[in-house]
Amino acid sequence: MGSVWGILCHIDRPCKPSPKESSCLPRGFRTSYFRPRMTRDQITENLKSLLRQQKQLKIEVDKISPESRIDAIGFDSITILDFVYDLEERFKIRIEMADLVSIRHVKDLVGYLEGKLAG
Amino acid sequence: MSPLLKLGYLIQLVVVQTLLVFIGLAPLPLVLAAADLGAVLSFTLWRSRRRTTIDNILKAGICADERGARRMALASFRSFTTLIAESIVGRRRLTASNWAHHVEMRLSPEAEALLRDPRRGLLVASAHIGNWEVAAHAVSMLKPITVAFRPFHNPYLEKAARKRRTGENLRYVSREEPNPMRFVESLTKGEIVALMIDQHVARGHVAVQFFGRPAWTTQILAMLHLTTRAPLLLAFALRTGPLRYEVRTVGPIERARTGDREKDVLALTQALTDEIEKVARAYPEQYMWGHRRWKGFPGQ
């Protein structure tokens, strides 16, 4: 079972469910199997593509660097939440409130996503 | 800002400050009588607002004819001027030791548990019914609260109002706040983030049905709930007598996240709006009908 999911999702980790994962899922089943595994560059590209899709955000995505501050990109209190929602859906993750406020720069976000996707 | 506009704003500030001094010093019955007179005068003289109020009452189907709508509109004006007067008086008289004497909290066990949990952030939707200023002030006695508000055009009045309304556990933050994470930060501290969601907004909105008609409504509260998973309540304070209120809550209101952001926002905002509609139907004389709630749609 584990190897099938591993092949499908390009994940080759052992099937040991963490205590945080839902107990209603079959034994050995990890929710992270649905998460795409990505390199840092792929994460960055995905972020840029998501930013381009934000209809109400008027920014030049290519001018954003890893050092850019998230709050200086051009978000307002609604567009930032739209972005977070889309981010969670795109990467199949859940971003906790406390993590959300601690992420200050684009590079922090990329690093955070990298950590989340690594399980 | 042109000198003439600046002068106009300063005159407004002086008039308001003078009224505040009067309301602060005068006994409550006199203040309420003055508020009543203010309602009758504004209803008589402010024709455009009176017309909007009557039209909205008719559109909502609260009254079947013009005469009934006119009576209801005057009651709504009275409710609003009483709110202003009692909010000013209440700021001085409602303290941590006596507020429970003025405000009865009728909460569901779930809502009470959420309000008394100091660690858990909470989202509260409210509406222009009863006395929303007192509702925020009373709830701040249980849990720190950040109220998102629409700033006044007059910057002097804005500064004075914000200073006056802010309390120990009560902060007012503009909806135009430059820090996009301001409301999320409040939630992470275990505070309440409260917002009035029954006004027309021009941006960041979703079209919901209010009394069977489309109305633009802010989507910020729904988005805060969908992304932070903070519980969401509807809360309001009904006036039951002079400086007497009953705070009621509805919820927690929940909708499962589907992965379609726009659909989720609409479902949640509609659910909140439906609850507001029920309250406005039950207590129409305490609802503020003067907003151009259905603005921005053809034929409205």
pTM, full prediction: 0.82
Q: What residues of B are in contact with residue A81 (Cβ under 8 Å)? A: 220, 223-224, 226-227
What residue of A is the nearest CA neighbor of B228?
A: A97
Q: Supply the pLDDT for residue B286.
A: 95
Q: What residues of A are in contact with residue B186 (Cβ under 8 Å)? A: none
Residue A15 pLDDT grade (very low, low, confident, very high; cuts 50, 70, 90): very low
The residue-averaged pLDDT of B189-194 equals: 93
CA distance A24 to A31: 11
What residue of B is the nearest CA neighbor of A82?
A: B223
Chain A to chain B Cβ contacts (< 8 Å): 59
CA distance A80 to A73: 10
Question: Is residue A24 located within the same domain as residue A63?
Answer: no
Residue range(s) defining the domain that contains residue A41: 35-117
Nearest to B235 by CA among B138, B164, B117: B138
Residue A95 sits in a domain of what CATH number? 1.10.1200.10
Percent of chain B with pLDDT over 90: 50
Question: Is residue A42 located within the same domain as residue A67?
Answer: yes
Hey, what are B11's tokens? 């005159």
User: What region, left, alpha or beta, does residue B93 occupy, with left being phi > 0 and alpha being psi -120 to 50 degrees?
Assistant: alpha
Report the residue of B120, B177, B181, B232 to disrupt the A interface, i.e. the one with the largest count of A CBs within 10 Å: B181
Question: Is residue A40 located within the same domain as residue A94?
Answer: yes
Residue A9 has pLDDT above 50, yes or no: no
Per-residue pLDDT of B228-269, as tens digits, reads 999 999 999 999 999 899 999 998 998 888 989 999 999 999
Residue B141 pLDDT grade (very low, low, confident, very high; cuts 50, 70, 90): confident
Classify each residue of A62-87 as buried b or exposed e, where b means 16 or more C-beta atoms within 10 Å of its C-beta: eebeeeeebeebbbbbbbbbbbbbbb
Question: Is residue A26 located within the same domain as residue A49?
Answer: no
Per-residue pLDDT of B44-69, as tens digits, reads 999 999 999 999 999 999 999 999 99
Question: Is residue A18 located within the same domain as residue A47?
Answer: no
Residue B74 has pLDDT above 50, yes or no: yes
Q: Supply the pLDDT for residue A35.
A: 60
Question: Is residue A41 located within the same domain as residue A25?
Answer: no
Residue A6 pLDDT grade (very low, low, confident, very high; cuts 50, 70, 90): very low
Mean pLDDT of chain B: 88
Looking only at the bridges linking them, the beta strands covering B103-106 and B244-250 are parallel
Nearest to B130 by CA among B269, B49, B247: B247
Nearest to B261 by CA among A109, A87, A103: A87
Q: What residues of B are in contact with residue A86 (Cβ under 8 Å)? A: 261
Per-residue pLDDT of B86-96, as tens digits, reads 888 887 777 77
Q: Which residue has the tokens 């259905």?
A: B294
Q: Supply the pLDDT for residue B299.
A: 65
Question: Is residue A51 located within the same domain as residue A98?
Answer: yes
Residue B220 burial (10 A CB sphere; 0-12, 13-18, 19+): buried
Mean pLDDT of chain A: 71
Residue B70 pLDDT grade (very low, low, confident, very high; cuts 50, 70, 90): very high
Report the residue of B147, B185, B227, B232 to disrupt the A interface, i.e. the one with the largest count of A CBs within 10 Å: B227
Residue A66 pLDDT grade (very low, low, confident, very high; cuts 50, 70, 90): confident
Report CA A84 to chain centroid distance, whole Å.
9
Q: Are B251 and B111 in contact (CB under 8 A)?
A: yes
Hey, what are A49's tokens? 């593509």
Q: How far from A81 is each of A58, A59, B103, B117, CA to CA, in Å?
A: 15, 16, 35, 25
Residue A5 has pLDDT above 60, yes or no: no
The residue-averaged pLDDT of B79-84 equals: 92
Inter-chain residue contact B223 with A82, CB threshold 8 Å? yes
Inter-chain residue contact B181 with A100, CB threshold 8 Å? yes
Question: Is residue A66 located within the same domain as residue A103?
Answer: yes
What residue of A is the nearest CA neighbor of B189?
A: A98
CA distance B121 to B144: 10
What residue of A is the nearest CA neighbor of B258?
A: A89
Residue A78 has pLDDT above 70, yes or no: yes
Question: Is residue A80 located within the same domain as residue A113?
Answer: yes
Question: Is residue A7 located within the same domain as residue A61?
Answer: no
Question: Is residue A39 located within the same domain as residue A82?
Answer: yes
Hey, what are B126's tokens? 């409210």
Which residues have a Cβ under 8 Å from the Cβ of B111 and sit 6 or more positions away? B233, B235, B249, B251, B252
Number of domains in chain A: 2
Q: Which residue has the tokens 């008027």?
A: A58
Inter-chain residue contact A101 with B230, CB threshold 8 Å? no
Residue A23 has pLDDT above 70, yes or no: no
Inter-chain residue contact A77 with B180, CB threshold 8 Å? yes
Per-residue pLDDT of B5-16, as tens digits, reads 888 888 888 888
Q: Shortest CB distance from B224 goes to which of A71, A81, A89?
A: A81
Percent of chain A with pLDDT over 70: 69
Q: Supply the pLDDT for residue A34.
A: 56
Q: Poorest-confidence range of B65-79, B134-148, B187-201?
A: B134-148
What residue of B is the nearest CA neighbor of A84?
A: B227
Instruction: Verify cis geometry, omega within 30 degrees of 0, for the bond prior to B252.
Output: yes
The residue-averaged pLDDT of A4-15 equals: 38
Q: Supply the pLDDT for residue B272.
A: 95
Q: Supply the pLDDT for residue A11.
A: 37
